[in-house]
């Protein structure tokens, strides 16, 4: 068993220190520190349910070493919902569009959608599908997830959202 190391990072706007073994993923470090909204699926980089924003970029936390996140900024779906108007609007749109069934994929899908919309993503269904191509859903068939991101993209284009 390796000795634990301390890593300092900012999660959902709060400075935190995690004590982790050097091989531990960011996903495991987050969940060991009660960030349970970051879901644990395949842990192999395939399903996307563990997606967080790492310095603003949608990132699969299961294939990111926690130790590599020293000094970096992480946002989870829950933290975004409380602190970011666009993310809160997208969460609401997921409800309005019926984009959630079991909900296991939803945090990762929403983080991927936030990344898309914050990087100038348009109301373009094909581009939206590409933006969530790293995220799997076993329930909804994706159409309603795309609908929710499309709806918010339209609102941004109309100037209804900053």
Beta-bridged to residue 124, according to DSSP, are none
CB of 160 to ligand FES, least distance (A): 26
Greatest Cα pair distance, the chain, in angstroms, is 55
- Note whether 126 and 71 are within 8 A (CB): no
Q: Which stretch binds ligand FES (CB under 6 A): 13-21, 112-120, 125-133, 134-142?
A: 134-142
Toward ligand FES, which CB reaches closer, 122 or 144? 144
Selected from 10, 16, 31, 43, the binder of ligand FES by CB under 6 A is: 43
Beta strands in the chain (DSSP E): 5-11, 14-20, 51-54, 57-60, 73-75
b/e 71-91 (16+ beta carbons within 10 angstroms → b): ebebbbbbbbbeebebbebbb
User: Restricting to residues 90-129, which ones interact with ligand FES according to CB under 6 A?
Assistant: 100-105
Selected from 4, 6, 23, 138, the binder of ligand FES by CB under 6 A is: 138
Toward ligand FES, which CB reaches closer, 46 or 155? 46
Q: Which residues bind ligand FES (CB under 6 A)?
A: 40-43, 45-50, 60, 62, 100-105, 137-140
């Amino acid at each position: 068993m390796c000795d634990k190391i301390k890593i300092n990072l900012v999660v959902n706007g709060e400075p935190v220190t995690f004590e982790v073994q050097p091989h531990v993923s960011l996903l495991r470090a987050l969940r060991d520190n009660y960030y349970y909204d970051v879901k644990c699926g395949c842990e192999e980089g395939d399903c996307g349910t563990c997606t967080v924003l790492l310095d603003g970029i949608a990132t699969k936390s299961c294939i990111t070493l926690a130790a590599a996140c020293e000094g970096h900024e992480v946002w989870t779906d829950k933290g975004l919902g409380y602190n970011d108007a666009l993310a809160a609007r997208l969460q609401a749109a997921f409800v309005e569009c019926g984009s959630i069934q079991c909900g296991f994929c939803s945090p990762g899908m929403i983080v991927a959608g936030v990344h898309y919309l914050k990087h100038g993503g348009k109301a373009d269904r094909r581009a939206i599908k590409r933006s969530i191509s790293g995220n799997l859903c076993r329930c909804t068939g994706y159409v309603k997830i795309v609908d929710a991101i499309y709806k918010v993209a339209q609102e941004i284009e109309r100037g209804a959202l900053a």
